[in-house]
Chain A
Amino acid sequence: MLAATLLLPGLAAVTAVRAEEPPEGVIAFKYGDYRDSQPGWDRIRVHSPQLYVLAPFADTWSIEGSVVSDSVSGATPRMHTSRTGATPAMSDHRSAEDVKITRYFHRAAISLGGAYSGENDYVSHAQSVEARWSTEDNNRTFLFGFGHSGDRIDNTNSGGSVEDQHRQTREWMAGVTQVLTPNDLVQVQLTRSLGRGFYSDPYKDFDERPDSRRSTTTLLRWNHHVEPRDATLRTSWRYYSDSFGIRAHTLSAEWMQRYGAWTVTPGARYHVQSAAWFYFDPVADAHGVPDQLATQLRFGSISGYHSADQRLAAFGAVTLSLKVAYEFANGTTADVKLETYRQSSHLKPGGGSPLLDPFRASFVQLGVSHKF
């Protein structure tokens, strides 16, 4: 089970130029394919078709929604990155929907959103409200958002022992978008999240996590248009810290280059995080190789919180991406994006958690969208 999070629907979608008018309509379809691996074995494969629609209506309203239907197959390690005793290879299905309705006023807008995500051991319902308004010259836009989500975890259907566990999360967001020059737009967003309930991973051994999680996220974004090259440099920096002891920085940059109707966008992302305070390293044998039995003996009987989940370890991760899009004359765009991801203790300055195998993933997205 993956770490569940509440992400307020569509809080990022603000353009400083026209925060107050209903946007043009869009319908888009995307097919995503994800696979990951560790040295010696393939882990998970996900097929993910998605549909998105944004439609203005009644002059001052818009409705926006998306549907995704993931098919997941494969297995993940039960402890650290050890392959022995991985969860049994399974095939699972997840579907998620979200919808948002927005009412536009003079230089302001209010949105109400709802989202649902469900699979056989996990269901999540979320609601959110956001408001934004701009100064008279439209150079500054203020954003506020609040979201709530309720999750239910239960894997007794597949023979598991986690029955009817719950989790509630509340999230607050405040942000400002500022036009700096005719070619520069910046945004800063602060998000505070408070969650209570079940956080442990039912598919990992010795996984016992605190029953609350409080986090603060700061996000800075800067879009810079380079007129002589007809290109845009898009950059962002996110700092995340939470009560699990995780401290993470995520930096990303992409260069959107136009060549007539073509747009080519190379990009890179670097993520680095510290380990959760209750994360424990594997015990090594005489050859420096993780010894699963020794690790189980050492940690199987300690009280208090502990987890061997690789996702809570200290590591760095790099993504390289390339997107190519073509815009047809009738407002239809076709695009393909390739990304390759590598996660490793060695990618963290000073070294991350020891004895973790590097993790690789690659994902491809093929999309078509139409403006109306």
Chain B
Amino acid sequence: MFFSHGISRRRVAAMLVLAPFAARAAERGAAAPDFTLPGPSGPVRLADFKGKTLYLDFWASWCVPCKQSFPWMNDMQAKYKDRGLRILGVNVDKNAADAEHFLERVPATFALAMDPAGDVPRSYGVKAMPTSVLIGPTGQVLEFHAGFSQAELAAREREIRQALKLS
């Protein structure tokens, strides 16, 4: 499928861009680290989302809460797309087939990208799976969440609405 083609050149590009950020975590207020990753229809860059509010989610086929976070993210993407919300799920499975198998059972209607080497989660200082980062239109980190729980749904939607300047 679309995740199986060679990514070595892309990965080198991602590494070079990220090298100075390797040790720093993404903090609220700081600029979100740049990245370029392969996606199903060509490369996906952080710059592509400039002017939009980006909900960046790091996920894997083996992460149990992802089975619940995906339907919610599908809802959020549909609900706030016209208001400027974009969701990007970055998969970190070493084996692309595992990611595809997960997507067959738990489909995603938001954008996807692959990072099996883990360079992007490293640059963002990811400590738990899943982790989501809310990035504003000028590229600054607004919120950073480790883990996912049904108990947090209302609070997260409030944060998205706030970022989109909705009531």
Contacts and interface: CB of A to CB of B under 8 A. Distances in A.
A138 B64 contact: no
B151 A20 contact: no
A17 B147 CA distance: 11
B65 A21 contact: yes
A106 B147 CA distance: 8
A21 B127 contact: no
A23 interface: yes
Contacts of A18: 64-65
Contact of B64 (A24, A60, A136, A137): A24
A176 B64 CA distance: 23
B62 to A, nearest CB: 8
Nearest to B126: A137
Nearest to A104: B149
A227 to B, nearest CB: 9
Contact of B149 (A17, A60, A138): A60
Nearest to A227: B94
Given A18-B64, A21-B64, A23-B64, A59 B149 contact: yes
Contacts of A136: 127
A59 B127 contact: no
A17 B60 CA distance: 13
B150 A21 contact: no
B78 interface: no
Interface string A14-37: 000110110110000000000000
Interface string B145-158: 01101110000000
Interface residues of A, number: 12
A137 B147 CA distance: 12
Nearest to A136: B127
A138 B151 contact: no
Contacts of B150: 59
Contacts of B12: none
Nearest to A58: B151
Contacts of B149: 21, 59-60
Interface in B83-127: 127
A137 B127 contact: yes
Interface string B136-167: 00000000001101110000000000000000
A21 B151 CA distance: 11
A316 B1 CA distance: 56
A334 to B, nearest CB: 21
B31 interface: no
Given A20-B147, A59-B150, A106-B147, A138 B127 contact: yes
Contacts of B151: 59-60
B128 interface: yes
Contacts of B65: 18, 21
A50 to B, nearest CB: 25
A196 to B, nearest CB: 43
Contacts of A21: 64-65, 147, 149
Contact of B128 (A23, A60, A138): A138
Contacts of A59: 149-151
Contacts of B128: 138
A296 B129 CA distance: 66
B63 to A, nearest CB: 8
Contacts of A60: 149, 151
A137 B65 CA distance: 17
A272 to B, nearest CB: 39
Nearest to B153: A59
A138 B128 CA distance: 7
Nearest to A23: B64
Nearest to B149: A59
A137 B64 CA distance: 17
B22 to A, nearest CB: 16
A282 to B, nearest CB: 56
15 contacts: A17-B129, A18-B64, A21-B64, A21-B65, A21-B149, A24-B64, A59-B149, A60-B149, A60-B151, A106-B146, A106-B147, A136-B127, A137-B127, A138-B127, A138-B128
Interface of A: 17-18, 20-21, 23-24, 59-60, 106, 136-138
Given A18-B65, A60-B149, A106-B146, 18 more contacts: A17-B129, A18-B64, A20-B147, A21-B64, A21-B65, A21-B147, A21-B149, A23-B64, A24-B64, A59-B149, A59-B150, A59-B151, A60-B151, A106-B147, A136-B127, A137-B127, A138-B127, A138-B128
Interface of B: 64-65, 127-129, 146-147, 149-151
Q: Which 3 A-B pairs have the closest CB atoms?
A: A59-B151, A59-B150, A137-B127
